[in-house]
């Protein structure tokens, strides 16, 4: 058992694999600045520890999604630039200024509020202009000519300086790159209009994980790796040969209980498992509240002592049961791999995601919320 986990179930984060991924991403980016995306607690891997490894690899800029995520990094001693990928409401402008966070803006009034907060604090804030080139989320629409004039007004604010422009790709991870190419075109046309209007745009960032792998024409000044940092591919449609990665997260648990049961014995809510032979059932102290999806119950398998074993019945909130009848010499305390590899068998975040109709991003984020993290190299 891993005592530092304080419970017999944990997320294991392999920092050597993270280091491997970062080095390969840097090679792929061909010298462009790396903006390490560590929002959502580094996709469940622990933002503070991930930031340390990024720092060791020369990464000088992090990106997050909430003010609290940025504050957590600052309070842990992070001195790097921290970019807020979402919008910051006016009422939090003073917090943004206090913690030296780089905002993205797409409203003149919001930029004014940030500029005023910076002026009161005796500072100047550098921020990114958000463009909606096709994601449909935040940002100035790239076909909105009035946006050019508004951005020009932002550039004239006393305590807000435009660092550059930012947008996000919607389909870079698809086989069909036609819409991605349209986004690239929209982004560059808008950039040219800003330059023609006399707005200085010294910095451009557009490339996400899939773009780093497959669309080198949009690497521009900086790329923003997210899911690929953690050894997961953005989708099944990207060419994995473009970038070698190693999974960073494993999920493990110890068997806390074993019982021998007769034919006709049921386990779990709804009695979804009923033994068809004399069986051995193991209990793990891990459930859907820990990110193990309940809809996965009917498909779920784990690795026990080198053997693939099925989950027996519905995954509960805090526990689940495993049919270990075919696992030799199984005993209480044995380590079980819920997600990860023993060198012979492998269960990926993608396997769990595919079986439950979601994406690997959601799986790692969910596992990282309640389970304690153990860091290894």
Residues assigned a catalytic role? 39, 269
C-alpha to C-alpha distance for 133 and 141, rounded to whole angstroms: 7
Beta partners for residue 131, in sequence order: 140
Tell me the residue ranges of DSSP E strands in 100-155. Answer: 101-102, 104-105, 125-132, 140-141
Q: Is residue 128 within 8 Å of 221, Cβ to Cβ?
A: no
Rounded to an integer, what distance in angstroms lies between the CA atom of residue 68 and that of residue 65? 9
In angstroms, the Cα distances linking 183 to 134, 142, 215 are 6, 9, 12
**Could you tell me if 376 and 337 are in contact, meaning their C-beta atoms sit under 8 angstroms apart?**
no
283 near 373, Cβ under 8 Å? no
The single-letter DSSP state of residue 199 is -
Alpha-carbon gap, residue 187 to 165, rounded angstroms = 9
What burial class does residue 9 get, using C-beta atoms within 10 Å of its C-beta: 0-12 exposed, 13-18 middle, 19+ buried?
Answer: buried
Distance of alpha carbon 104 from its chain centroid, rounded?
A: 19
Long-range Cβ contact pairs of 94-99 (< 8 A, separation 24 or more): 94/120, 94/121, 95/67, 95/71, 96/67, 96/125, 97/121, 97/123, 97/125, 99/67, 99/70, 99/71, 99/74
Of 255, 280, 260, nearest to 333 by C-alpha is 255
Pairing of strands 140-141, 104-105: unpaired
Rounded to the nearest 10 degrees, how much is the dihedral formed by the CA atoms of 293, 73, 244, 337? Answer: -40
Query: Do the beta carbons of residue 245 and residue 22 sit within 8 Å?
Result: no
Please count the other Cβ atoms lying within 10 Å of the Cβ belonging to residue 199: 20
């Amino acid at each position: 058992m891993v005592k530092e986990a304080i419970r017999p179930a944990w997320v294991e984060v392999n920092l050597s694999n993270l280091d491997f991924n970062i080095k390969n991403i840097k090679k792929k980016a061909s010298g462009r600045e790396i903006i390490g995306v560590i929002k959502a607690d580094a996709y469940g891997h622990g933002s503070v520890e991930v930031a340390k490894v990024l720092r060791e690899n020369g990464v000088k800029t992090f990106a997050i999604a909430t003010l609290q995520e940025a504050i957590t990094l600052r309070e842990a001693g992070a001195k790097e630039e921290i970019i807020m990928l979402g919008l910051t409401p006016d009422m939090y402008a003073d917090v943004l200024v206090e913690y030296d966070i780089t905002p993205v803006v797409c409203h003149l009034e919001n930029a004014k509020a940030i500029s005023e907060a910076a002026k009161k604090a005796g500072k100047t804030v550098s921020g990114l202009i958000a463009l909606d080139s096709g994601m449909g989320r935040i940002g100035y629409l790239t076909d909105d000519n009035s946006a050019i004039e508004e951005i020009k007004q932002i550039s004239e604010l006393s305590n807000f300086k435009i660092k550059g422009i930012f947008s996000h790709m919607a389909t870079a991870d698809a086989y069909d790159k036609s819409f991605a190419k349209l986004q690239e075109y929209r982004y560059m046309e808008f950039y040219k209009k800003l330059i023609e209007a006399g707005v200085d745009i010294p910095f451009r960032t557009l490339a996400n994980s899939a773009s780093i792998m497959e669309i080198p024409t949009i690497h521009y000044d900086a790329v923003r790796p997210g899911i690929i940092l953690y050894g997961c591919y953005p989708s099944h449609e990207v060419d994995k040969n473009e970038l070698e990665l190693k999974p960073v997260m494993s999920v493990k648990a110890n068997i806390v209980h074993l019982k021998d049961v007769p034919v006709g014995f049921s386990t779990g809510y709804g009695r979804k498992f009923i033994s068809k032979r004399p069986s051995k059932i193991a209990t793990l102290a891990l459930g859907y509240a820990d990110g193990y999806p309940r809809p996965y119950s009917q498909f779920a398998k784990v690795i026990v002592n080198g053997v693939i074993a099925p989950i027996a019945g519905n995954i509960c909130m805090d526990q689940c049961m495993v049919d270990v009848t075919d696992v030799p010499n199984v005993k209480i305390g044995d380590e079980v791999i819920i997600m990860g590899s023993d060198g012979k068998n492998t269960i990926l975040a993608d396997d769990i995601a595919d079986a439950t109709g979601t994406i690997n991003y959601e799986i790692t984020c969910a596992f990282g919320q309640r389970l304690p993290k153990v860091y290894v190299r």
